[in-house]
Structures are given as C-alpha cells and as structure tokens.
Structure 1
Amino acid sequence: MNTLKTAQLAALAMCASLTLPVAAQTIAMETAGAGSVLGLMPQGMAPDWSKAGVSLQLATGQTLTKSLLKMSKGSLDAAVVPPTAFAALKKGVGPYSSLGDKGKALAGNVRSLFSFGSSTYHMVVWADSGSAEWNQIKGKRVFIGPPAGAANSMIRSIVKAGSGYEDGKDYTGIKAPWNAAMQSFKDGQFDMFVSTLPVGSQALVELGMAKPFRLLSVPAQAEPSLGFTRTVIPANTYPDQVNKDQDITTWVSIMTMMVKKDLSNEIAYKLTKTYFESLDAVKKGNSMLAILRAEDRFASLVAPLHPGAVQYYKEAGVDIPARLLAN
C-alpha cells in the first residue's frame, strides 16, 4: 500500500512539474531616481521581464558611477550606466582616477545590451534676461547639475556646443541638487537653467506661468558628443515660451543598459529581446517613456555587446557595428 501511495504521489508531482511555469531567475539591477526615465524604464519593463523568466531586484536612486564599479567587480548583475562613465572607467579618469590602469581591466568585465534616450535637455533663460543668444551668457551663472555625478560634464558639453564657452573661464557653473534647481532659478541664483525634462514638462509650463522664458537651441551643425543624440522640441510646446513659434534643436542624453560580463547568455538574451518586443506597450503605459526609441539601440554604445544581446540582434536581422562585437 505504501509503495502504491509513493508511486501515486510521484506521478502527481511529475504532472504538477509539467504544468507549473519555470521559476524566474532573479538578478540585481540598479538605476537612478524612481520617477525619472532611468527609473521608470526598468520598472515598466519588470512585469514583462518577469514573464520572460527574469525577476528584478531593482534598487533606484543609486549613483550610477558606483553601480558601474560594482558590476565591473562582479558584485552587481545589471545597471543603467552613462556612456561617459564607462569611458572614464576604461581610461581610469574622472570618478575612477584612483584606479588608473586598473580601470581598463575592470571595464573589460562589463558588457552592453542596448542604449536608450533618457531625457531631453532644456536650456532655459528668462525672456527679459538679455540672453536671447548663446554668446550673451558670457560672464553669467549657469546651472550645471548636482555637486556629484555625470550631469556636470554633460551640461558643460551642451553649453560648449552652443556657445563655445568653457566653465570657469567664460561663465560660472553653479551646482545644486536637481530638486532645488528650478526654485533656485526662480530665486535668481543663476541666469541659465539647463535641465533634463520630458518634452511638455508640467514643471516648465508652471514656470512660464510665473514668468515668461526663452529656450535656446543647440546649433544644428553641432555634433552631439558621447552620451547624446539630437532631437527637437516642437514649436508651441510651452505656452509661455516667448520663442514658442520655433522648433528648438536640442540633445537627448543617452544611457546604456549594461550587465556584468559573466551574466548568463540566456538572461542577457531575454532582457534584450523582451525590451524591444515590449517597448511600444510600455511607452503607451507612461507618457514619460515616449522618449524611448528602438533606433537608439546602439547610440553612444561604447562597451562591447553581451553575446546574449548579439544573439537577439542577429535573430531580429539587426546589423551590428563591428566595434560592438567582443574579441
């Protein structure tokens, strides 16, 4: 009787195992603020990644230069990373200057999956500031982002592309936390407010209700530097923008989804495949994610692709630049 019961239980267990889904594999991922595109993208993708068999332990509000270092040392599976941070690690400069040549070796432990647009830069001056052109910001105070992070160099790049000016020589860069920057601009603590905002930002609409402003364009001939791609803020986006009859040429900051080199091919493949197959639906679910475009997949991509990502792109018929294939 016991033998019969044991056989019956074994058969039931086998049937159950055939009908239950395979348990998702869990990975640890880090990104920036939960309410930013950098945070909303992985949050929006998480249910689809889970259905594909990859469960996230997502930590938001992280310093991404530190997240990259964790991945390079194998203590983190995946993270959203600024391309400029990877370039700095590879050279052992900037936030990684203490690493020197070790930075290049550590950079070799990281692979890319895809890039995506994260935010649109708005270069804002008050309508009555006397700064209708880039050359009129000379000697003035320009907000360049928070005290630490990659934003400082990115904003300096935009200002240089627009004006040719350099921080500390031609203008004074002012650092402040993101959450205090707009109020500081209202209070007159700097003359130009450069910030990453979704196109049609309600915060900027409300700023204009308090006082009319002007948006400056990056010259169309200026070539975006590493970590950027070109875009346009359409005319008539902001009611109280004094030059609202013009399209504003600006840059979108690019981020890269990176993983540790030793992440399994299966997980890297699923993360990449599911991202592109779920992209349209996820964008419809949150207007802030409208900035995500499949065509940005290789924009400012500086780390070689993970073999799992390569597998997906080949299946999808996407041409892969030779520089992105690991040796």
Structure 2
Amino acid sequence: MNNPAKWLRRSLCFMAVSVAATVNAEQISMETVAPSSVAGIVPQTMASFWAQDGVDVQLSMNQTLTKSLLKMTQGALDSAVVPPNAYSALVGGRAPYAGMGDKGAALAQNVRSLFSIPASVYHAIVWNDSGIRSWADAEGKRIFIGPPAGSANEQITSIVKAGGLSEGQYEAVKAPWGAAAQNFQDGQFDVLVSTYGLGSQALSELSLSRDIRLLSVKPENAEPPAGLGLVQRTIPAHTYPGQQNEADVIGWQAVLMLAVKKDLSDELAYELTKSYMENRQALADGNALLQELPSANPLAGVNAPLHPGALRYYREAGIEVPESLTVN
C-alpha cells in the first residue's frame, strides 16, 4: 500500500474489531482426532470462521472420540467429532460401551448432531514384497485394527470381513493411531488398515520408502453395512508413487458427525452449522484433502437427532431432513 499511515489505521481498526469479537464471543469446548486427518483439519480450519461469527472454539486434538462422546453425554464437553457407529454402540450397549446397557442409551439422549463430515478413506496396506496380494493371503497374519477401545475396531473388522477373512482367521493387533505407521514399518504387523485422505502426502512418502499394495474388499461386498458410518469409495490404481495395484481398489470411507451436548443453546448450534455450511467452499479451496466438502450431503451418515438450532438452519436453507433426525 502506498500510504503507510492509512495502512496503519486500517490495521489498528481490524485489530480492534478482532479483539472486540474475541471478547464478545461465546466459548465452547470441542475435541477431535489427529491434526493431519480430515476430521482434525475441518474443525481446526473452521475455528477461524466460527470466531468471525462469534463462537470461540477451544479445540483439543489427538483425542479418543469414543471417550469424547462419553464426556459430552455427561456434560463435561460441549462438542466433539463423533463416529456414527460409536453413537449407535452407546445406544445399544455394544463395545466399547459393553456393559453399560440402559445407562448408555440414557446418556445418548444428551447428544445432538449438527452435520456430517466426509472423512478419510480406509486404506488396507501391505508391503508389495510381502507376498500378500489379497485378503486371502493375509490369513493367519497380524492385522492392525485400530486403537484399544476405539470405534474403528468395528469398522476395520468389517472391512477385513468384506475382504473375505472372519475374526479368528487372523491376529488382530490394537495400538494407538499415532504409532501405527511406524509399527508397520518396524514389522510389528503385516497389514496396516488406517485412514488417510485420498492422495495423502504421508502415505505417498511411505510408498516411496518401499513399494506398497492396497487390498480391496470383494466386489459383492462393496456396500458397507448400515450404521457403521461408512460409505463406498474407490481408490484408483497408482494413486501413490509406490502403489503397485494395476486395478482400482474398492475401499470404504469414514463419515463422521459433529455433535454437541443437548443443552447447548439453539443460537450456538445454529451459528456452528450455518458457518460451516457457508464456508465449505473456502475450506475446499484451501486444502486439497477437503475437496468433497462443498458437494457432500451434510446429513450423510448422521444418526443422532439434530439439535433444534441445526434443524432451524436446514429448514431455512431448504435442505431436506430425514424425519428420523427431527425427534428431540
């Protein structure tokens, strides 16, 4: 700018507005997973947009989402990214909430949803020189199925089953997400089933260190079971530099939902939803891993009732809402 004094006045004005917005913002707590995952990138990036709309999000990363869901049901957390299958497991008293019974179902009544996030894609990875070219070849092998007590266990075992192996035909290995890739490189298991954004730089770098092969679910099992928070997704051959698949791979993509505690104010739920919906294109423009957001159905995979504030937004926007999500 040619006029430094004018630039300074504008900068000071902007800072004053920003400070005022921060002071007047309503603060909420939120938890999500790894910063580099789609489920981590979306709330991180949205935090600045939410702040502009008067919502100060205090975001905690690298959390176990099944535990975040419980914290939210108990009122100790305002919001979290939640796997739909974790919510249904809480309602039904299934693992990782086995033994809670009716108490789990009662706690689930304290959760409301805002929108879904098309998250990362499950990649079933083996070293190309391992001799494993299909799931049948992985019988008796060590397979990573996610962290202990995580909702991913159910999803990954379903993927392995769709590939042709039943539980008991392989050795299931559980470990924290953060250690999984290194453990795979160290030879602690033979098949790494983990989530990556399609075209992930991290997986590209892994494939450059040593050629990889991706395992596909069987074509007749291409459609994921209902209620798992998964949708079908094709991983093209040669997506990664060292990927040796000659044909496209049938995989499954995780769908997560942003949920809030039931007694969050209608206005806050409305602003969180409206701001996300209106800034999806900006998120996609800023990160190649978020290209799906603008065209994604914001209610795909959502299985918790919508918060009245979110429902208000969708009705104003003319977005059709399944009747099953309108029960409050």
Which 5+ residue runs of structure 1 have no aligned equivalent? 1-19
* Aligned 8 A contact 1:162 1:219 in 2: yes
Aligned with 2:229 (options 220, 227, 230): 227
SS at 1:204's partner residue? helix
> Alpha carbons of 1:55 and 1:227: their partners in 2 closer, same or farther (altered >3 Å)?
same
Report the alpha carbon displacement of residue 280 of structure 1 after superposing the two structures with TM. 1.0
Deviates more, 1:199-208 or 1:84-93: 199-208
User: What amino acid maps onto 1:219 in structure 2?
Assistant: K
Report the alpha carbon displacement of residue 291 of structure 1 after superposing the two structures with TM. 4.7
Give the aligned partner of residue 114 of structure 2. 113
Separation (CA, whole Å) in 2 of partners of 1:35 and 1:238: 18
Give the aligned partner of residue 136 of structure 2. 135
Q: Deviations over 1:56-83 (max 9, x none)?
A: 1112222222221122122221111111
Instruction: For 1:153-302, list aligned pairs within 5 A.
Output: 153-163=154-164, 165-167=165-167, 169-222=168-221, 223-225=223-225, 226-243=228-245, 245-292=246-293, 294-302=295-303
Give the aligned partner of residue 151 of structure 1. 152
Q: Deviations over 1:152-189 (max 9, x none)?
A: 222111111121x223x111112233233223323332
Report the alpha carbon displacement of residue 145 of structure 1 after superposing the two structures with TM. 1.7
Give the aligned partner of residue 125 of structure 1. 126
Report the alpha carbon displacement of residue 293 of structure 1 after superposing the two structures with TM. 5.0
Q: TM-score, normalised by structure 1?
A: 0.87
User: What amino acid maps onto 2:209 in structure 1?
Assistant: A
User: What amino acid maps onto 2:298 in structure 1?
Assistant: R
User: What amino acid maps onto 2:169 in structure 1?
Assistant: D
Separation (CA, whole Å) in 2 of partners of 1:214 and 1:260: 42
Q: Deviations over 1:280-309 (max 9, x none)?
A: 111222233335354242222111111111
Sequence identity (%): 53
> Alpha carbons of 1:148 and 1:95: their partners in 2 closer, same or farther (altered >3 Å)?
closer
* Aligned 8 A contact 1:118 1:291 in 2: no
Separation (CA, whole Å) in 2 of partners of 1:296 and 1:129: 39
Separation (CA, whole Å) in 2 of partners of 1:25 and 1:202: 36
Report the alpha carbon displacement of residue 194 of structure 1 after superposing the two structures with TM. 1.1
Question: CA RMSD of the aligned region, Å?
Answer: 1.9
* Aligned 8 A contact 2:37 2:196 in 1: no
User: What amino acid maps onto 1:133 in structure 2?
Assistant: S
Separation (CA, whole Å) in 1 of partners of 2:187 and 2:130: 11
SS at 1:58's partner residue? strand
SS at 1:315's partner residue? helix
Query: Which structure is larger by alpha-carbon Rg, 1 or 2?
Result: 1
SS at 2:57's partner residue? strand
Q: TM-score, normalised by structure 2?
A: 0.86
Q: Deviations over 1:44-64 (max 9, x none)?
A: 001111111211111222222
* Aligned 8 A contact 1:117 1:293 in 2: no
Counting matched residue pairs gives: 305
SS at 2:244's partner residue? coil
Separation (CA, whole Å) in 2 of partners of 1:101 and 1:206: 46
Deviates more, 1:67-76 or 1:176-185: 176-185
Report the alpha carbon displacement of residue 29 of structure 1 after superposing the two structures with TM. 1.2
* Aligned 8 A contact 2:39 2:117 in 1: no
User: What amino acid maps onto 2:325 in structure 1?
Assistant: L
